[in-house]
């Protein structure tokens, strides 16, 4: 039986991001000119109805900045953000208001994202009233009760304040608040990273059930590749503000074509003492986004670096349908680095140890 997470969608994009950039001016000591920090530098992707796209990478790679830009919590320096083909990146606050219903967000910290002075019923009722999704007090109360039931909380939870709940319960309230606007897509910005392992699994299963029942699209931002493999349809890998590889779940986890993707996968622990995988160790630290390296931004840490990597920026090009990667290794003939390509493929899956 085929896994639905491996199926490719032919539906038109619900959300489309094209060449998205976010730059910050950083003050410099003395009288020098302000420096530019490139938090997001030319990111593009699409998200269709009912699909989960995961954005992964190390801390500081720009994942959460992409989420904030999509939600217009910050203004992009360049690029386009489209919902159902309509640009929203240049809309005024007034014109953007009806579009906010389409895409909602669940934040990493469920406590700081909920108003501590409001009861849960009022937190959930606020978007219902703001978007005029129910007429009259009784209709609003019914909608709040339905939202609590959707996230598997009792109706009595509406009479309590956020501090009276556990972290997992508060995140359920955050999800219910996102659902209150009846969105087509939800951005999950590290939505499970602050939770215990067992609670993570419950929240991920809840998101999958809601996606199945409501046809939601999920933009799932995370550094936890085990969770990503469980929930996602496609994966976008970011490094230092840029996309370096994007493909369906099976391709990324089974045969990555960028050394950084392979290194991330090789570092995922395997809970089986009789199984090991080849580990790709990266040297050095992540370069500063204020002064990124010339050529490929990953070349200072790449175990397969060669001269071209140091001078020429690799293009994000299509290797096959639905799979793009930005790595000069993919342009090489079989020799002399055919073994490097083999290692990239092997890093995605564990290697059994013969007893």
The per-residue pLDDT for range 71-91, each reduced to its tens digit, is 999 999 999 999 999 999 999
Over its length of 355 residues, how does the chain's per-residue pLDDT go in tens digits? 556 666 555 667 999 999 999 998 887 666 667 888 999 999 999 999 999 999 999 888 999 999 999 999 999 999 999 999 999 999 998 899 888 899 999 998 888 889 999 999 999 999 999 999 988 999 999 999 999 999 999 999 999 999 999 999 999 999 999 999 999 999 999 998 888 888 999 999 999 999 999 999 999 999 889 899 999 999 999 999 999 999 999 999 888 899 999 889 887 776 666 666 667 778 788 898 898 999 999 999 998 888 999 999 999 999 999 999 999 988 876 533 345 445 544 544 443 333 2
Angle of helix 167-180 versus helix 137-150 axis, rounded to 10: 130
* Separation in Å, CA 11 to CA 50, 86, 321: 10, 16, 15
Name the pTM for this structure: 0.89
Structure tokens at 349: 């899956």
Cβ neighbours for 206, distance < 8 A, ≥ 6 positions apart: 151, 152, 172, 175
Q: Measure the CA–CA gap between 17 and 40, rounded to whole angstroms.
A: 12
pLDDT digit string, tens, across residues 273-290: 666 666 777 878 889 889
User: Residue 82: what pLDDT?
Assistant: 96
User: Residue 209: what pLDDT?
Assistant: 96
């Amino acid at each position: 039986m085929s896994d639905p997470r491996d199926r490719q969608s032919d539906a038109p994009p619900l959300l489309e991001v094209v060449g998205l950039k976010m730059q910050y001016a950083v003050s410099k000591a003395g009288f020098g000119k302000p420096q530019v920090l490139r938090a997001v530098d030319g990111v593009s992707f699409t998200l269709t109805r009912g699909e989960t796209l995961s954005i992964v990478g190390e801390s500081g790679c720009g994942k959460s900045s992409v989420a904030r830009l999509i939600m217009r919590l910050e203004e992009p320096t360049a690029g386009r953000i489209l919902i159902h083909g309509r640009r929203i990146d240049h809309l005024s606050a007034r014109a953007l208001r009806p579009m906010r219903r389409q895409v909602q967000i669940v934040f990493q910290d469920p406590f700081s994202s909920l108003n501590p002075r409001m009861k849960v019923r009022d937190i959930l009722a606020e978007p219902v009233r703001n978007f005029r999704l129910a007429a009259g007090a009784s209709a609003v109360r019914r909608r709040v009760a339905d939202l609590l039931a959707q996230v598997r909380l009792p109706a009595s939870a509406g009479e309590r304040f956020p501090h009276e709940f556990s972290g997992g319960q508060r995140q359920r309230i955050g999800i219910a608040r996102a659902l209150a606007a009846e969105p087509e897509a939800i951005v999950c910005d590290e939505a499970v990273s602050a939770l215990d392992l067992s609670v993570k699994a419950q929240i991920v299963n809840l998101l999958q059930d809601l996606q199945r029942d409501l046809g939601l699209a999920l933009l799932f931002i995370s550094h936890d590749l085990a969770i990503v493999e469980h929930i996602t349809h496609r994966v976008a890998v970011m490094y230092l503000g840029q996309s370096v590889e994007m493909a369906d779940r099976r391709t990324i986890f089974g045969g990555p074509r960028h050394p950084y993707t392979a290194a991330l996968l090789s570092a995922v622990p395997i809970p089986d003492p009789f199984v090991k995988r080849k580990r790709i160790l990266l040297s050095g630290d992540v370069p500063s986004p204020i002064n990124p390296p010339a050529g490929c931004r990953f070349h200072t840490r790449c175990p397969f670096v060669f001269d071209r990597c140091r001078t020429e920026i690799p293009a994000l090009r299509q290797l096959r349908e639905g799979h793009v990667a930005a790595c000069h290794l993919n342009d090489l003939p079989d020799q002399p680095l055919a073994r490097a390509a083999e290692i990239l493929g092997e890093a995605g899956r564990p290697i059994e140890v013969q007893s």
